[in-house]
């Protein structure tokens, strides 16, 4: 068998244009990147649902970041990455818009235009942390499987987890 200039066996290690064999990514680098990205997603979702009026603007990072990094992380085309990112972002906020334009109470609606708000910090921050906690495994699964759908599914589930957590906390809205 012939060998490449880097000493690997041809056919087992891909060749780079310069003729040197490229090594697969280091597992520790991939793990560190996955954990760091998952923590950023957790913080961004928590801030999106924990910052009245600014939450939707903060969550735009959750739209642009996966859209830009998607082709590398998810092994999709650029257009597909933008579509998946848009679907995830819509999942975070469509229930709030439904609540805004219908008589149904959805706990994330007041975050868009905070004319009224809960009377306690627990009612503000605990549901936001619960929603972020559901997005965390979705982001990790998405990066590990290299598929976007776990992230999108978690983003669509997040507002309903927010609603559930909000319903468990005794609070009233004050205006």
- Which tens digits make up the pLDDT trace of 94-142? 998 888 888 888 888 887 777 777 888 888 899 999 999 999 999 889 8
SS3 of 3, please? strand
Series of mean pLDDT values for 10-residue runs along the chain (175 residues)? 45 48 53 82 88 84 85 86 92 89 83 78 90 91 90 93 91 75
pTM of the model: 0.75
- pLDDT above 90: percentage of residues in the chain: 23
- How far apart CA 164 and CA 161 sit, in angstroms, is 5
The set of residues, in sequence order, having a beta carbon less than 8 Å from that of 91 and lying 6+ positions away, is 152, 155, 156, 157, 158, 159
- How far apart CA 175 and CA 15 sit, in angstroms, is 65
- How far apart CA 174 and CA 96 sit, in angstroms, is 19
SS3 of 169, please? coil
What is the structure's pLDDT at 83? 93
Domain range list for the chain: 27-171
- Distance of CA 20 to CAs 11, 27, 91, Å? 13, 21, 44
């Amino acid at each position: 068998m012939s060998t490449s200039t880097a000493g690997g066996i041809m056919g087992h290690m891909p060749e780079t244009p310069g003729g040197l064999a490229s090594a697969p990514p280091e597992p520790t680098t991939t793990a560190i990147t996955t954990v760091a990205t998952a923590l950023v997603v957790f913080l961004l979702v928590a801030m999106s649902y924990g910052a009245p009026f600014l939450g939707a603007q903060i969550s735009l990072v959750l739209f642009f970041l996966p859209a830009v990094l998607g082709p590398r992380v998810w092994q999709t085309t650029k257009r597909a990455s933008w579509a998946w990112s848009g679907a995830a972002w819509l999942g975070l906020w469509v229930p709030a818009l439904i609540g805004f334009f219908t008589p149904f109470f959805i706990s994330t609606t007041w975050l868009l235009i905070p004319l009224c708000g809960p009377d306690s910090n627990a009612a503000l921050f605990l549901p936001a942390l619960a929603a972020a906690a559901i997005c965390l495994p979705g982001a990790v699964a998405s990066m590990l499987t290299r598929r976007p759908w776990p992230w999108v599914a978690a983003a669509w589930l997040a507002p309903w987890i927010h609603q559930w957590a909000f319903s468990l906390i005794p609070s009233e809205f004050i205006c």
